[in-house]
Amino acid sequence: MIEVKNLVKKYGDFKAVDDISFNIGKGEIVGFLGPNGAGKTTTIRMLTGFSPATSGQAYVNGFEVFEKPMEVKKSIGYLPEFPPVYPDLTVRDYLSFVAEIKGIEKKLKKERIDYVTQKCGLSEVIDKEISKLSKGFKQRVGIAQALIHNPLILFLDEPTSGLDPIQIIEVRNLIRELRNEHTIFLSSHILPEVSALCDKVIIIANGKIMAVDTPERLSTGMSGQKTFTFNFLDDISKAENIISQFENINNIKVVENSLEVKVNDISDIPLIVRRAVENRLDITGVIPKTASLEEVFLHLTTKEGA
């Protein structure tokens, strides 16, 4: 669906996007993750045909973005970082306008407006002026706008930024509902969001791609699933004393009243448990520790400077 090859975008001498390549398959929901200013919006703007790349190719739905921009634009829906709405129009007028410029047939227009209104939960505000809507509703209008021509691919640039927690949950649920029908490319700097929604994560920093993987693999890959947190009823220093005598332990430290133990092999864990029980320690929990995406993210984006 989306194929990017050696894409570069320069502003003067500044490389906003520096030689990135990736592939996104049909029906995938992909998170594009990076700190502010990493080049996320610039990349999306190139893929949507808004601004041309300095060099490299991008194919969207099989069409080269720069050579066949009209074909590309017909097959995408795009929600920019700020919903592109006209505050003085009503939601109905606005959606009708977008339907017309996207080239929807007149007979289908009403049907499509009804569909996106229902899908995005806009029925109660359909005849209201957009300027009178809350930020959450404006965002939904923005998503409705991107959906109206039933595009194969959706580009969502920071779809939950600036929303309150309830609105965030609503928008995420909406995106989840859309995942079956569209290929979704979603940018965000919010890590839990990406791990909650996406099949695949592309991490970008300073215009370069740092990693492409599933959220789970990125987390486990970091820790190798070899760090475990032990909780005890007993005094933590006593437990530390006993467990640290075990020879196969790589690293051991006390973190907030529990013990974090790193082993070379996962088969060591039952041995540690047995040893603990033999020493009359009361274990209340053994939890494999996966690195949070935050850690992955920090690890990947800071190793450059380190």
Partner 1 sequence: MKKTYAIFKKELKHYFYSPMAYIMLTVFLFISSWFFTGMLDTYISLSINSLNPYGQSYTLSLDRDFFGPFIVNMAIIFLFFMPFLTMRVISEERKMGTFELLATSPLKNIHIILGKYFAVIFLYLIMLLFTVVYFLGVYFVFPFNIQVLLVCYLGIFLLGSTFLAIGFFCSSLFKQPIFAAVTTFGVLLLLWIAGWGVLGDFGKEISIITHIESFTKGIISLKDVFYFGIVIFFSLFSANLYIDSIRWRE
Tokens 């041995």 — which residue? 271
Q: Confirm or reject binding of residue 152 to partner 1 (CB under 8 A).
A: no
Binding to partner 1, residues 3-22 (CB under 8 A) = 11
Binding to partner 1, residues 89-128 (CB under 8 A) = 89, 93, 97-98, 100-103
Instruction: Output the smallest distance, CB 124 to partner 1, in A.
Output: 21
Binding to partner 1, residues 30-69 (CB under 8 A) = 45, 48-52
CA distance 75 to 48: 10
CA distance 240 to 228: 14
**What is residue 90's DSSP assignment?**
B
Q: Confirm or reject binding of residue 285 to partner 1 (CB under 8 A).
A: no
List all residues 6 or more positions away from 101 whose beta carbon is below 8 Å from its beta carbon. Answer: none
CB-count exposure of residue 20 (10 Å: 0-12, 13-18, 19+)? buried
**List 88, 111, 114, 124, residue binding partner 1 (CB under 8 A):** 88
**List 37, 87, 270, 288, residue binding partner 1 (CB under 8 A):** 87
Q: Which is nearer to partner 1, 161 or 292 (CB)?
A: 161
Q: Tell which residue, 293, 291, 303, 292, has the closest CA to residue 208.
A: 303
Looking from the CA of 6 toward its CB, the CA atoms found within 13 Å total 2
Q: Which is nearer to partner 1, 4 or 191 (CB)?
A: 4
Q: Confirm or reject binding of residue 140 to partner 1 (CB under 8 A).
A: no
Binding site for partner 1 (CB under 8 A): 11, 45, 48-52, 70, 73-74, 76, 78, 80-89, 93, 97-98, 100-103, 145
